[in-house]
Chain A
Amino acid sequence: MRYLPHTDADRHAMLAAIGAPSVDSLFRDVPESARLTAPVDLPAHMGEIEVERALSKMAAKSTAAGSVPFFLGAGSYRHHVPAAVDHLIQRGEFLTSYTPYQAEVAQGTLQYLYEFQTQVALLTGMDVANASMYDGATACAEAALMARRVTKRPDVVLSGGLHPHYADTTETLVRFIDGKVDRLPPDITGTEDAAPRIADGTACVVVQYPDLFGRVRDLRPLADACHAAGALLVVVVTEIVALGALVPPGEMGADIVAAEGRSIGNPLNFGGPCVGLFAARDKHVRQMPGRLAGETHDVDGKRGWVLTLSTREQHIRREHATSNICTNSGLCALAFTIHLSLLGEDGLRRLAALNHAAAATLADRLAAAGVEVLNETFFNEFTVRLREPAADVADRLAAEGILAGVPLSRLLPGNPDAENLLLVAVTETATEGDMEALCGALGGGR
């Protein structure tokens, strides 16, 4: 077996050194009745060529996004990732290292986490960011829990413009610790005002920017309403590239920003792994979940980094920890930070501008082709109303080789108002030909 170094001679010599007659004898503490007497019913080992053949065959059964005109978003956006990113994250020193608890031999990981934290704080306009969460949805749920700790209030208001998977994840977690969740109905018309829902027990209002339907709106009035009532404003961002073009949530009064960062540096991955971004204000740093890398110096006075404020975490505080999170998304955070280093200020702003220009162009062309575009504002995603159920159209066009968008019925099942709505996202990866194909397919009364 290619991954196992021992020869039978090694095994015999080691058993002799141990003084055990067999490997089986080392398992004498396993109750007799619970030991398997025959091998499990699974295939025998395979060589690389056979495994590669089998899994490649499986992969070939799906339609890769890059092989067709592609316009899906709804919390997962397809961007170009420079080749250097994947090369660097596959260096064994990054790929095969553990969480950097032994700082002297983990300065590489610690320094990039510190750079990552800085980049996330800058992008979101916040003071401080952690070393990542699992994904945007779990970051959102953790933000709600943090708001409960900060305000010492139990309940959470969720905007109807919040991605339903984020709302479900947050509602699930908050319900289990006996908080109330006030979930506003889907804000299809873009007229929601969450401020009147803030009550004495409200820890935070969670709002998405741009929202599920692609709209952007000024969050300052809502932030003011939250703060006047002693609640926090949690801003969720599912498309982090948007912050290359938009006023950052920190400038609009956000107390916590929970975001999905997979757009930068990471492939679609069919939804996972992702990389949750989590940013907050300095004054609340000790209530933050997750790992934090901090600057310090060694005994020779040389600058270095360590994981710090660890007393918040489960391995020290156990049942009093701010979160149970342990493993996060380290390698995805590395991909994020490398891609963002390549982009830099100018690159990110141009990337965002390209996305916005492509979306504006496509929205105008669809409107010209007779498709009803609902959004007045958007970044790189907008909602269109079709004349028949959007899921049927998406399925039909997929069969024709166009991945046209996300039918909102997939995220809002059973909601009649969402039935004919299609979310259309467009990024720098879409070509002129792709856009023509979509306009041709959706236009003309379809």
Chain B
Amino acid sequence: MSGLKYTKEHEWVRVDGDVATVGISDFAQSQLGDVVFVELPEVGSQVKRDGNAAVVESVKAASDVYAPVSGEVVEVNGALEDAPQLVNESPVGDGWFMKIRLSDPSELDGLMDEAAYADYSESQA
């Protein structure tokens, strides 16, 4: 298992110490189609769980990406600026969005594990 946790809004989280890496799921990228632009938060900004943290755009749609956890944005994936297609090509790898320093690790408890998310996304298709 990858150790990823998921939200109902199709974001994923990978925790390493007190830092969570965040992106959107393979299911989400396949629903969006070709990603053409990603708007990321500023490093140093604070995000709140379920608050707007980023915007991901395809040619015909723009979707808000919500923060799965609260905390400070410590790094964003600058590669997406020149290569937004990474979100399509490697949604849970090189297509990550941001890293958040957790302010409340207990928030992770409310997220789905891989198997639960697989069932959930199937029901959404």
Contact = CB atoms under 8 A, between A and B. Distances in A.
Interface of A: 286, 310-311, 316-317, 320
Contacts of A311: 37, 57-62
User: Interface of chain B, helix or strand or loop or mixed?
Assistant: strand
Nearest to A317: B62
A286 B81 CA distance: 13
Contacts of B59: 310-311
A286 B37 contact: yes
A316 B61 contact: yes
Interface size of B as a range: under 10
Nearest to A312: B62
Contacts of B58: 311
B62 A320 contact: yes
16 contacts: A286-B37, A286-B39, A310-B59, A310-B60, A311-B37, A311-B57, A311-B58, A311-B59, A311-B60, A311-B61, A311-B62, A316-B60, A316-B61, A316-B62, A317-B62, A320-B62
User: Interface of chain A, helix or strand or loop or mixed?
Assistant: helix
Contacts of B39: 286
Interface in B31-78: 37, 39, 57-62
Contacts of A310: 59-60
A423 B58 CA distance: 50
A234 B82 CA distance: 29
Nearest to A320: B62
Nearest to A308: B59
Q: Which 10 A-B pairs have the closest CB atoms?
A: A311-B62, A311-B57, A317-B62, A316-B60, A316-B62, A316-B61, A311-B61, A310-B60, A310-B59, A286-B37
A402 to B, nearest CB: 56
A404 B93 CA distance: 71
Contacts of B37: 286, 311
A320 B59 CA distance: 16
A306 to B, nearest CB: 9
B10 to A, nearest CB: 18
Contacts of B57: 311
Given A286-B37, A311-B58, A311-B60, 4 more contacts: A310-B60, A311-B37, A311-B57, A311-B62
Choose among A310, A311, A316, A317 the residue with the greatest number of B CB atoms under 10 Å from its CB. Answer: A311
Nearest to B59: A310
B87 to A, nearest CB: 15
A317 B64 CA distance: 11
B70 to A, nearest CB: 21
A311 B35 CA distance: 12
A310 B58 CA distance: 10
Contacts of A316: 60-62
A8 B61 CA distance: 47
Nearest to B62: A311
A311 B60 CA distance: 6
A429 B58 CA distance: 50
Nearest to B64: A320
A178 B57 CA distance: 29
Contacts of B62: 311, 316-317, 320
A239 B61 CA distance: 38
A310 B60 CA distance: 7
Nearest to B58: A311
A46 to B, nearest CB: 46
Choose among B39, B61, B62 the residue with the greatest number of A CB atoms under 10 Å from its CB. Answer: B62
A316 B57 CA distance: 11
B11 to A, nearest CB: 19
A31 to B, nearest CB: 38
A64 B74 CA distance: 66
Contacts of B60: 310-311, 316
B83 to A, nearest CB: 17
B64 to A, nearest CB: 9
